[in-house]
Amino acid sequence: MTPAGPRKVAAYIGALAGLGLILAACSSGGGADPAEYPEDNIEVIVPFSAGGPTDTVTRMVAEPMSQDLGVQMVVQNVDGAGGTVGAGQAAAAEPDGYTVLMHHIGMSTAPALYPDLAYDPVADFKTVGLVTEVPMTIIARSDFEPETFEDFVTYVQENADTVTMAHAGEGSASNLCGLLLTEALGVEVTAVPYDGTGPAMTELVGGQVDFMCDQTTNTTGQITAGKVKAYAVTTPERIEALPDLPTTAEAGQPDIQVTVWHGLYVPAETPDEIVATLTESLQVALADQTVIDQMADLGTAPVSEEQATPEAHTELLEEQIGTWGEIISASQGG
């Protein structure tokens, strides 16, 4: 084998240098230039089934964000394991701003519910901003015997061994609210898990289960149509969409208070400039009158501009991880 000449050596070195630049660009987020972001459609992972409360909230803000960003926010439902399948997929995505996760309160409960969780909600994501805090309602099949929330409490406490409570799977908002409800009442009831809120609501309307606790974005229509019996809303104040529905505190159960907050996330290595672009677009969407009206019809409202920031979002996430960790541990006898 003969030695290479000087020109061949120089060409070889130049090729290696060019390859190094390409590899460096790939390792810094797929070659995405934050200054030119976005240039393509953005996938929004919803880790729950289509038509559910989180999906509803996502589609409300996706349209005005698409208009603001000049590209489509394409919703992709990746449900399973209480939202952890979709969240895990988002955590492993390229940190280039083209994969965004919309998740609810379950982001803060997953560490306590799933010991072998494949991602860290804080370390593996950057927060973009909060979107809304949705009240929960306590509802039952239309022919359930109790007429008031006070009657409901007494009935469940006296018949805990026979009543059934539906929820949308471990880690779902309805599951978490149900845990809080039964812990406050000091009872254990038969919990019936379903693969999403849709099937759970269908079974409740059909009379196959007795009661459930779920978000107003999923229950308001069923309540106003008379398809289910509503007992209480889990907020300190009554809500405009359901003005006749008393609060749990009014009925003597102030410990049963919970709202389901939703927020946007991106993989942890996503450039800060891209996060800032998404945050600004989210704030535009939350100020959109159509979004405000749509949320009001479902018993909720956009968060303030101050809450729709990474700082406020991260603070709430970390605080809620601690709070729900204690509640879940207590419910499991820990």
Name the CATH superfamily, with its identifier, for domain 135-233.
Periplasmic binding protein-like II (3.40.190.10)
CA distances from 301 to 62, 66, 330 (A): 16, 20, 31
Distance CA 137, CA 246 (A): 10
SS3 of residue 67 by DSSP = helix
Q: What is the tens place of the pLDDT at every residue in 135-192?
A: 999 999 999 999 999 999 999 999 999 999 999 887 788 988 998 899 899 999 999 9
CB 273 within 8 A of CB 35: yes
pLDDT of residue 30: 45
Q: What is the tens place of the pLDDT at every residue in 70-113?
A: 999 999 999 888 899 999 999 999 999 999 999 999 999 999 99
Angle between helices 197-205 and 216-224 (to 10 degrees): 20
| 319, two tokens | 């605080």
User: 36-134+259-331: which CATH topology?
Assistant: D-Maltodextrin-Binding Protein; domain 2 (3.40.190)
pLDDT above 70 coverage of the chain, percent: 90
Length of the chain in residues, anyone? 334
Using alpha carbons, select from 265, 264, 254, 180 the residue that is nearest to residue 214. 180
Q: Does an H or E element contain 216, and which?
A: helix 216-224
Is residue 333 pLDDT above 90, yes or no? Answer: no
Does this model's pTM top 0.95? My answer is no
Q: Do domains 36-134+259-331 and 135-233 have the same CATH topology?
A: yes
* Phi (first) and psi of residue 228, to 5 degrees: -135, 160
**Residues with Cβ within 8 Å of residue 205, at least 6 apart in sequence:** 141, 142, 222, 227, 228
pLDDT band of residue 35 (cuts 50, 70, 90) is: confident
Q: Sketch the domain layout of the chain as residue ranges.
A: 36-134+259-331, 135-233
Distance CA 96, CA 101 (A): 13
